Structure 1
């Protein structure tokens, strides 16, 4: 038998093991519900900056990204201009976003924002076949203020609530400069906008339905950590742009599959 596979047992032994795991899954669900409730109770910070973005129909404000709804989720999408395409990890996130009607029915809008010229964003969006709202923050401080564009000449380096010294101590030099992924959440009260939440690194796993499906399987994500086998045995990250899986080219993003 393949050594990567779990051991084979009788149906009775499997059932006993499954019931034991079910108790842990139920406990985890209750913990997750409690964590979600705590997240909802986070205090708000009013956004006073007049951020401007460029979209297909011209310049818009942060307030306009709500499209009249009370809540806004912004996915900070890494557009890698040096490669002429979006980050494969961020693209995986967007591929896993469901139909927006379900968010809209709960008074919530979702938009992608990237620090790149709109023309480059639009070309890549058409290549990927996405229809979600996607805005350029190329002429704005928005990405720097929400710590997804890192340049110490513009603002002190901080990613995932860690400063430059801590990132270097952890060996996360790939988070010291350039574009990074993240998600930020905003609440609107009339014309006033409030920031409620931002998450980075492993916090973005929550957004990837593909991970949730793979986490149900014996081989997991096939990424070579936490006892999972590696898909190709070479320690390389497995995801690609959805039109590039036949390409032998390595991932364009840094190989940080399990950031702290």
Structure 2
């Protein structure tokens, strides 16, 4: 016996048409938000960041790879991690397919993390990804874009993430079980794990000058976490009771 409300086809159609109206309004609101996002003022990037890539040392303009727009996924992979964050890994599973199309629309899509390049490339090979991944191990890029923090900032609570200083789940003591669980899966402790955070930043290159145009963090990343876009359309929705996802090579054959 189903636990969900049932009805006739006519009842379903009436409810679906009501939902369609709400979905269309949501789409229109999303279009308006995209315009508002694009209208944000650009901020000139002043620091001369240097990254390590599989093709050698690179500046921030070099990361554009000849295009005028750059999207950076701030992948949680700190210098002391032994593996990348499982949540970031789930998001990254959707990058390769999109990156091919974006590259033909004047946009480079890539990941940047603080771990040394050798660790990043080894993990990329393990996961079967192809997208470009740069190491910011020796520069302040992650710190300047509010996705990495020092031990001193952790101790004093003097950090800002997702445009707020009023605390985040990652800053709770003791850490929530999912944070401790993910930290262990990355081969580190919760404090070390949470010194890096997920995010997405956008940049534009115009007349040789790089400008920062947008950044989003935390639940702002839902839109690029492709598995959730599918789950939101499945009969039971997200249907979550704690952490259920793993790196794609860690699921059992029975799953």
Q: TM-score range by the shorter chain?
A: 0.7 to 0.9
| Normalised TM-score (structure 1) | 0.83
Partners of 1:219 and 1:7 in 2: how far apart?
13
Instruction: Give the one of 44, 52, 55 matched to 1:54.
Output: 52
| Normalised TM-score (structure 2) | 0.85
Q: Residues 64-213 of structure 1 correspond to what in structure 2 (within 5 A)?
A: 64-80=62-78, 82-97=80-95, 98-151=97-150, 153=152, 156-163=158-165, 166-167=166-167, 172-173=171-172, 177-213=194-230
Q: Given that residues 79 and 137 in structure 2 are in contact (C-alpha distance below 8 angstroms), is that contact kept between their aligned partners in structure 1?
A: no
Q: Given that residues 80 and 87 in structure 1 are in contact (C-alpha distance below 8 angstroms), is that contact kept between their aligned partners in structure 2?
A: no
Which residue in 2 is equivalent to 1:227?
none
Partners of 1:2 and 1:202 in 2: how far apart?
32
Over aligned residue pairs, what C-alpha RMSD do you find? 2.2
Partners of 1:82 and 1:152 in 2: how far apart?
13
> Which digits, 9 at most, give the CA deviation of each residue in 1:216-245, with x for residues without a partner?
11211221xxxxxxxxxxx33111100001
> Which residues of structure 2 form unaligned runs of 5+?
180-190
Partners of 2:61 and 2:49 in 1: how far apart?
9
SS of the equivalent of 1:246 reads: coil
- Which deviates more, 55-64 or 172-181? 172-181
Instruction: Give the one of 53, 63, 82 matched to 2:61.
Output: 63
- Are the structure 2 counterparts of residues 180 and 73 from structure 1 closer, same or farther at C-alpha, using a change threshold of 3 Å? same
Partners of 1:128 and 1:161 in 2: how far apart?
31
Q: Given that residues 79 and 86 in structure 1 are in contact (C-alpha distance below 8 angstroms), is that contact kept between their aligned partners in structure 2?
A: yes
Partners of 2:38 and 2:24 in 1: how far apart?
21
Partners of 1:145 and 1:119 in 2: how far apart?
23
Structure 1: 4+ residue segments shifted above 6 A: none
- Report which of the two has the higher share of helix: 2
Q: Given that residues 78 and 113 in structure 2 are in contact (C-alpha distance below 8 angstroms), is that contact kept between their aligned partners in structure 1?
A: no
User: What count of residue pairs does the alignment treat as equivalent?
Assistant: 232
How far did residue 154 of structure 1 move?
A: 6.6
How far did residue 100 of structure 1 move?
A: 2.1
> Which digits, 9 at most, give the CA deviation of each residue in 1:160-179, with x for residues without a partner?
0112xx116x7852698411
- Are the structure 2 counterparts of residues 121 and 26 from structure 1 closer, same or farther at C-alpha, using a change threshold of 3 Å? same
Instruction: Give the one of 224, 230, 245 matched to 2:251.
Output: 245
SS of the equivalent of 1:159 reads: coil
Asked if 1:222 is matched to 2:239, the reply is: yes
